[in-house]
Amino acid sequence: MRILLLTALSAHLASSVLVVGTFFMLLLAGPSRAPTARRWEGAMVVWGRLLLLVALGSGIVWLLVRTALFEGRAQAALEPRAVLHAVLDTWPGLIWLARHGILVILAAFLAIRSDLTERRDWIAARVEALALGALALALMSASSHAAAISPGTALTVAIDACHLLGTGVWLGGLVALGALLRAASRDADADDRAHAVITARRFSRVALVAMLALMGSGVLNALAQVENIAALVGTPHGRLLLAKVAVLVPILGLAAVNRRRLLPALPGPEAMRRLVAFVGVEAMLALVLLVLAAAMTLTTPARHAEPVWPLPVRLSLDTPLDGSATRWRALLASQLAVLGAVALIASFFSLRRRAPLLAGALALAAVAAAVGLPPFVVDAYPTTYRRPLRTYHATSIASGSAIYWGQCAACHHGTPADLRSASTSRRHAGELFWLVSHGRPERGMPAFENRLEEAQRWDVINFIRALGTAAGSKSLGAQVQLDGAWLIAPDFTISVGPLAPGALRDYRGRRMVLLVLYTLPGSRARISELARKYNLLSTLGVEIIAVPMQTSADAIRELGASPPVLFPVVTDGNAAIIATYGMFASGPHAELLIDRQGYVRAIWRDDTGEIQVQVERLNEEKSVPPFPDDHVH
């Protein structure tokens, strides 16, 4: 089924692309009275009709197969109700309908033979065909992966459309040009070569622009869809992209030879024949690109897929540069790299020694890498870049805590294998996941793959992260350190009585949060004071959230009615919050000030904090750190 879908989609994509390029080339070549050109034009219009038939046919097959996959049954492809549902009730279906409507109009338009002897009629007819074909092609991006990116959907769709149209002009034009050159290179038609040569030169200029647009939009597309190296080398989508780049390299090589060697030698018969052959090879490679592109649209975009890291090592820039040997290495490597860059620049300007200079530059770069990189190479595992299954949330940390104290602490807490060490905190969460799942039996670390569920393993990793930051949180005190946002406040659920539950993260970008962990009766005076100051703090942009340390059914009533407590008092799930935040501030009463981005900025381990002064400091802070990720890294 998948193969059929890929075949249909590739055929559809290729024919839609070729239609655009064919009509573009007809316009670029312009009307001509020469017999070869007229014959070529006639052949191109027939070719255009054929392409439209293929586009419509493969489009229908594509729709039917997609319906079957969508419904999960093969028969659904032949049930009118199911197909109508897929077309009319889904966004990709509506786009499909619009595009195929346009293709039918274009086909009808080409089927009517009209008299195009007038130059104006000729141009109007060709422009119309090109516009319809281009519209049908560009609309494809409205239901592509690009349309699923938000924010910035309009931009990513526009970039994708630009990529498609660039492909249309370049690849479609290439095939049409190949046909023209072939026709003109036959000896009998030698008198018509001038027209073909002029067209080839014009196309060469356009193709350069189209290729630059293609590569530019391709890079932007990749940045939006793939996002990082792990997704590029570790997901099927990313690897298809790498394959595309690998096919692109010989295409660019051929294009460069065509442009620099063969075009200037036209209309020599030898150059003409070689150009025909090269253009043919280029077009074949480009069709391979299209199949890869179609396969990419059928795979999960890399940024949503779980990358599987293929190598046993990776580069880590977090590695500390300690030890003079490492520093000497880094220095030597950087100097070699600079020399390499100088050689590279020189090779561009030198006319005669270009090749040796370029080879020298590459050799210097290789030696620099061999000298400088080893200290940054660290072990890596297939799951290194896996995204945690569980977010950095108090409930996850609390259940991780129970697992840790039950199953890990005996070997790990306060021993040489302490998980609070800097070397453990430098590891990616996905690496910890691998180590916990598979263990290192030869060094005494058991495997937990069969003893803990996957979610439990991620819980314990969230806990290890919290444990690591808790050690550092000792340096956070009553004073807000400007530009010192690093302690991510784990998210938690705020459920108060019958109201719909909210979350700490709902305040992000809007308000600061003063998290008050309290114990009665000791905290009563402080809670009353905060209740009185609530309005003032609210105006300064602070929400207060109070969490009782001991669980009691009457927690809210116990606070008393005067002064009224108007801020949320979280009684459901308070144990998880206390277990998590208690790691940063233990004691019967503690207050933590969380800034608008979601970082803990001040911790009071008693009830005497001058909240207002610190809040005003935060309000004046200029630099705003990015929002922390919901998952640990």
Catalog residues that contact ligand HEC under the rule CB under 6 A: 403, 407-408, 411-412, 417, 419, 423-424, 427, 432, 435-436, 440, 443-446, 448, 460
At its nearest, how many Å lie between ligand HEC and the CB of residue 476? 25
CA dist list (Å): 313 to 305, 371, 378, 384: 21, 17, 5, 10
At its nearest, how many Å lie between ligand HEC and the CB of residue 492? 22
Other C-beta atoms lying within 10 Å of the C-beta of residue 475: 10
Structure tokens, 121: 């009629």
At its nearest, how many Å lie between ligand HEC and the CB of residue 470? 16
Q: Name the residue nearer to ligand HEC (CB basis): 49 or 420.
A: 420
Separation of CA 202 from chain center: 37
At its nearest, how many Å lie between ligand HEC and the CB of residue 437? 10
At its nearest, how many Å lie between ligand HEC and the CB of residue 410? 6
Task: In whole angstroms, give the CA distance from residue 164 to residue 537.
Answer: 54
Q: Apex CA 48: angle with CA 43 and CA 49, to 5°?
A: 100
Q: Name the residue nearer to ligand HEC (CB basis): 130 or 419.
A: 419
CA dist list (Å): 135 to 99, 309, 344, 475: 8, 40, 43, 61
Helix pair angle (119-138, 91-111), 10° resolution: 160
Q: Name the residue nearer to ligand HEC (CB basis): 68 or 403.
A: 403
Q: Name the residue nearer to ligand HEC (CB basis): 101 or 406.
A: 406
At its nearest, how many Å lie between ligand HEC and the CB of residue 333? 27
At its nearest, how many Å lie between ligand HEC and the CB of residue 463? 8
At its nearest, how many Å lie between ligand HEC and the CB of residue 469? 16
CA dist list (Å): 76 to 5, 71, 73, 97, 107: 15, 7, 6, 18, 28
Q: Name the residue nearer to ligand HEC (CB basis): 103 or 460.
A: 460
Task: In whole angstroms, give the CA distance from residue 551 to residue 560.
Answer: 17
Q: Name the residue nearer to ligand HEC (CB basis): 126 or 412.
A: 412
Task: In whole angstroms, give the CA distance from residue 73 to residue 76.
Answer: 6
Task: In whole angstroms, give the CA distance from residue 146 to residue 152.
Answer: 10
DSSP state of 616: H
At its nearest, how many Å lie between ligand HEC and the CB of residue 374? 19
Q: Name the residue nearer to ligand HEC (CB basis): 364 or 436.
A: 436
Task: In whole angstroms, give the CA distance from residue 590 to residue 526.
Answer: 11
Peptide bond into 441 cis (omega under 30): no
Q: Name the residue nearer to ligand HEC (CB basis): 91 or 405.
A: 405
At its nearest, how many Å lie between ligand HEC and the CB of residue 447? 10
Structure tokens, 6: 């890929």
Q: Name the residue nearer to ligand HEC (CB basis): 289 or 460.
A: 460
Q: Name the residue nearer to ligand HEC (CB basis): 222 or 408.
A: 408
Task: In whole angstroms, give the CA distance from residue 189 to residue 610.
Answer: 93
At its nearest, how many Å lie between ligand HEC and the CB of residue 411? 3
Q: Name the residue nearer to ligand HEC (CB basis): 123 or 445.
A: 445
Long-range contacts of 623-627 (CB under 8 A, 24+ apart): 623/483, 624/596, 624/597, 625/485, 625/597, 625/599, 626/597, 627/508, 627/509, 627/597, 627/598
At its nearest, how many Å lie between ligand HEC and the CB of residue 320? 15
State the virtual CA torsion across 119, 125, 126, 129 in degrees, nearest 10. 180
Q: Name the residue nearer to ligand HEC (CB basis): 79 or 418.
A: 418
Task: In whole angstroms, give the CA distance from residue 358 to residue 345.
Answer: 9
At its nearest, how many Å lie between ligand HEC and the CB of residue 454? 13
At its nearest, how many Å lie between ligand HEC and the CB of residue 406? 8
Task: In whole angstroms, give the CA distance from residue 390 to residue 31.
Answer: 64
Tokens 């935040």 sit at which residue?
581
- The distance between the two most distant Cα atoms of the chain, rounded to a whole number of Å, is 106
At its nearest, how many Å lie between ligand HEC and the CB of residue 475? 23
Long-range contacts of 148-153 (CB under 8 A, 24+ apart): 148/301, 149/224, 149/225, 152/224
Helix (H) or strand (E) holding 517: strand 512-518
Helix (H) or strand (E) holding 116: none
Q: Name the residue nearer to ligand HEC (CB basis): 167 or 424.
A: 424
Contact between 427 and 543 under an 8 Å Cβ cutoff? The reply is no
Contact between 611 and 514 under an 8 Å Cβ cutoff? The reply is yes
At its nearest, how many Å lie between ligand HEC and the CB of residue 459? 10
Q: Name the residue nearer to ligand HEC (CB basis): 421 or 612.
A: 421
> In residues, how long is the chain?
633
Q: Name the residue nearer to ligand HEC (CB basis): 413 or 617.
A: 413
Q: Name the residue nearer to ligand HEC (CB basis): 428 or 601.
A: 428
Q: Is 293 exposed, middle or buried (0-12, 13-18, 19+ CB in 10 A)?
A: buried
Task: In whole angstroms, give the CA distance from residue 574 to residue 594.
Answer: 18
Residue closest to 16 by CA, chosen among 102, 124, 145: 102
